[in-house]
């Protein structure tokens, strides 16, 4: 299953500068696992023992996966995943 993952600037050192990469996986967890297999080290920046790191937001087609099924959220062919650091507003 081909899934597009948009990578934030600060993690592009892992993807050789690529803004967007295509990986496989049928859940958010599987996508991150395949991402880490292709770009070793990136998974550790996204996850800790309790799941997604506090300042990391992951969106499946623009919806925050924390409000879907978290890392278990199913992902379908041609879905897009966006990874973003948490920022302030106001």
Partner 1 sequence: MRFDSLLDSVGRTPLVGLPRLSPSPDVRLWAKLEDRNPTGSIKDRAAVAMILQAEKDGLLTPGATLLEPTSGNTGISLAMVARQRGYRLVCVMPENTSRERTQLLEAWGATIVPSPAAGGSNEAVRVAKELHAENPDWVMLYQYGNAANAQAHYDTTGPELLADLPTITHFVAGLGTTGTLMGVGRFLREAKPDVSIVAAQPRYGELVYGLRNLDEGFVPELYDASVLTTRYSVGGRDALRRTRELLDVEGIFAGVSTGAILHAALAMAAKADAAGRQADIAFVVCDGGWKYLSTGAYEGTLDSAEEALDGQLWA
Q: Does 11 sit near partner 1 (CB under 8 A)? A: yes
Find tokens 């499946």 and name the residue.
60
Q: Does 80 sit near partner 1 (CB under 8 A)? A: no
Smallest gap from residue 10 Cβ to partner 1 (A): 6
Q: Does 9 sit near partner 1 (CB under 8 A)? A: yes
Sign of CA dihedral 12, 18, 20, 25: negative
Q: Does 62 sit near partner 1 (CB under 8 A)? A: yes
Written as six digits, the tokens of 67 are 């409000």
Q: Does 89 sit near partner 1 (CB under 8 A)? A: yes
Q: Is 33 exposed, middle or buried (0-12, 13-18, 19+ CB in 10 A)?
A: middle
Q: Which residues contact partner 1 (rule: CB under 8 A)?
A: 8-11, 45, 53-57, 59, 62-64, 66-68, 82, 84-90
């Amino acid at each position: 299953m081909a899934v597009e993952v948009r990578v934030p600037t600060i993690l592009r050192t892992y993807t050789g500068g690529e803004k967007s990469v295509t990986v496989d996986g049928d859940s958010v967890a599987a996508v991150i696992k395949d991402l880490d297999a292709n770009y070793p080290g990136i998974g550790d920046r996204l996850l800790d023992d309790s799941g997604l790191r506090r300042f990391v937001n992951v969106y499946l087609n623009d919806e925050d996966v924390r409000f879907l099924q978290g890392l278990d959220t199913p992902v379908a062919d041609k879905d897009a995943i966006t990874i973003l650091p948490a920022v302030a507003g106001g």
